[in-house]
Amino acid sequence: GIQVEQSPPDLILQEGANSTLRCNFSDSVNNLQWFHQNPWGQLINLFYIPSGTKQNGRLSATTVATERYSLLYISSSQTTDSGVYFCAVGQGGSEKLVFGKGTKLTVNP
Amino acid sequence: DGGITQSPKYLFRKEGQNVTLSCEQNLNHDAMYWYRQDPGQGLRLIYYSQIVNDFQKGDIAEGYSVSREKKESFPLTVTSAQKNPTAFYLCASSMIFQETQYFGPGTRLLVL
């Protein structure tokens, strides 16, 4: 099955810093989503982005489907950005999203 | 407010016992999903349902069962056949199958 690798596994930042999280996948996809899981376990959908670029406030994401990767950019990070960021992908005709293991982000004040 | 609710927040299971986790949504979504999350890991799909009265097995369906009698509800039963049930269980829904998924707050299941 398709493999999803996220990097880095852990990231520690000072408040106000910028960061880039990466998601590599092993096969073509027609569905890619980024999620943020807060320290209490709640997952929030950040982007549905099988290709192209989207922005939402301080967050933006780019997926280059032909090169099998996606990037999540966080600018001017805040302590509330802490948590785990997951990338999940799906393939045409497939019934499931496959999740990566996540990047754990800690933003210190 | 529209959203997804899961109950209970914490659930304790005794050996040999079946337990049922509740998932309700008022988003009018057709598709619903159950995931399992183990510590430090990503999510794995247990079951999914694209429409009422229909559901399909995911990657790790053994030891679990579901029903989808109403559009709003997708309960998950963890049976005694599931030998390692301790995990965080997350329910999600989407308007169209595999489109943007929205998650409930989760249920933590512990074995006594």
Q: Give the pLDDT mean for B41-60.
A: 93
Looking at residue A1, its pLDDT comes to: 87
**Test mutation, B37, B38, B49, B88, chain A, max A CBs within 10 A:** B37
**Rounded distance between C-alpha atoms, residue B41 and residue A63, angstroms:** 23
- Give the residue from chain A lying closest to B47, CA to CA: A96
Closest C-alpha among B78, B73, B67, B70 to residue B18: B78
* pLDDT tens track for A48-87: 999 999 999 999 999 999 999 999 999 999 999 999 999 9
% pLDDT > 70, chain B:
97
Res. B112: pLDDT tops 90 = no
**Rounded distance between C-alpha atoms, residue B54 and residue B50, angstroms:** 7
Cβ neighbors of A66 (< 8 A, separation 6 or more) are: none
Task: Tell me how many residue pairs between chain A and chain B have CB atoms under 8 A apart.
Answer: 52
- Contacts made by residues B77-81, CB under 8 angstroms, sequence distance 24+: B77/B18, B77/B19, B77/B20, B77/B21, B78/B13, B78/B18, B78/B19, B78/B20, B78/B21, B78/B109, B79/B18, B80/B15, B80/B16, B80/B17, B80/B18
* pLDDT tens track for B7-34: 999 999 888 899 999 999 999 999 999 9
A103: its two tokens: 């990047």
**Test mutation, A30, A43, A85, A91, chain B, max B CBs within 10 A:** A43
Res. A41: pLDDT tops 80 = yes
* pLDDT tens track for B67-107: 999 999 999 999 988 889 999 999 999 988 768 899 999 99
Residue A94 with chain B: CB contacts under 8 Å: 98
Residue B41 with chain A: CB contacts under 8 Å: 101
Looking at residue B111, its pLDDT comes to: 86
Asked if B48 lies within 8 A of A95 by C-beta distance, the reply is yes
Q: Is the peptide bond before A50 cis (omega within 30 degrees of 0)?
A: no
